[in-house]
């Protein structure tokens, strides 16, 4: 379907709460693609969540694990949902760009804040959610091949927007 840099994967990036996993699973089903969640791959590899790894071993250790996991992805016909902090790794983002079309699911800060609850506590060593949002947003824009406004839409509508975007890519 997609032929960007010889790859046919769709990579979803964005803040936690923007809908990467929910939308990614639905999109994979619609396209009959495999769904890959990089955070899930990290748990499979280490037995620990990204949050646990950062808290126990630090951010640099986590970024190394994340890079290993992302570099192990070699498949085609996949929807890849990434952890929100993936954009802090040039290594991971370069590999993902070689694998497919990167779409930034762009949600306003207020919506991200509203969707976050205690069960989805972000991994951050210091600073507020707003500071993290402001730090990451330019990185999402830097790496994205395209961005989609995902404010005020459900996953079904978001998938339709992504499919339309891809048809025009």
- Its sign, for the CA torsion 36, 82, 102, 93, is negative
Q: Give, in order, the Cα–Cα distances in Å from 162 to each of 10, 31, 79, 95, 99.
A: 9, 11, 11, 21, 17
What is residue 158's predicted lDDT score, i.e. its pLDDT?
92
Among 169, 166, 162, 118, which residue's Cα sits nearest to residue 14?
A: 162
- Indicate the pTM of the whole model: 0.91
Flag whether 125 is marked binding.
no
Distance in Å from the first CA to the final CA of the chain: 10
Q: Which CATH number fits domain 9-167: 3.40.50.300, 3.30.420.40, 3.40.50.12240, 1.10.10.10?
A: 3.40.50.300
* pLDDT value at residue 166: 84
46 is in an annotated binding site: no
Which of 1-5, 53-57, 101-105 is least confident? 1-5
The answer to whether 18 is annotated as binding is yes
Q: Is the pLDDT of residue 96 over 70?
A: yes
Q: Taking the domains of the chain in order of start, what are their residue ranges?
A: 9-167
The pLDDT value recorded for residue 127 is: 62
Asked whether residue 83 is marked as a ligand-binding residue, the answer is no
Q: Known binder of ligand: residue 58?
A: no
Residue 127 annotated as binding? no
The per-residue pLDDT of the chain, averaged, comes to 88
CB 26 within 8 A of CB 81: no
Q: How many residues does the chain have?
A: 169
- pLDDT tens digits, residue range 121-164? 554 445 688 888 999 999 999 999 999 998 888 889 999 999 99
Annotated binding-site residue? 100: no
């Amino acid at each position: 379907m997609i032929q960007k840099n010889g790859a046919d994967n769709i990579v979803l990036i964005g803040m936690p709460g923007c809908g990467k996993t929910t939308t990614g699973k639905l999109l994979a089903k619609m396209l009959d693609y495999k769904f890959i969640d990089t955070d899930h791959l990290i748990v499979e590899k280490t037995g620990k969540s990204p949050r646990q790894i950062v808290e126990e071993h630090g951010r640099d250790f986590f970024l190394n694990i994340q890079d290993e996991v992302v570099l192990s992805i070699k498949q085609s016909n996949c929807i890849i949902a990434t952890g929100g902090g993936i954009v802090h790794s040039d290594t991971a983002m370069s590999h993902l760009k070689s694998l497919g079309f990167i779409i930034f699911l762009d949600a306003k800060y207020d919506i991200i804040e509203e969707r976050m609850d205690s069960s989805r506590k972000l991994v951050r060593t210091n600073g507020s959610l707003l500071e993290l949002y402001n730090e990451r947003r330019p990185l999402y824009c830097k790496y994205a091949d395209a961005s989609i406004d995902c404010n005020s839409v459900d996953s079904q509508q978001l998938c339709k927007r992504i499919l339309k975007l891809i048809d025009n890519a």
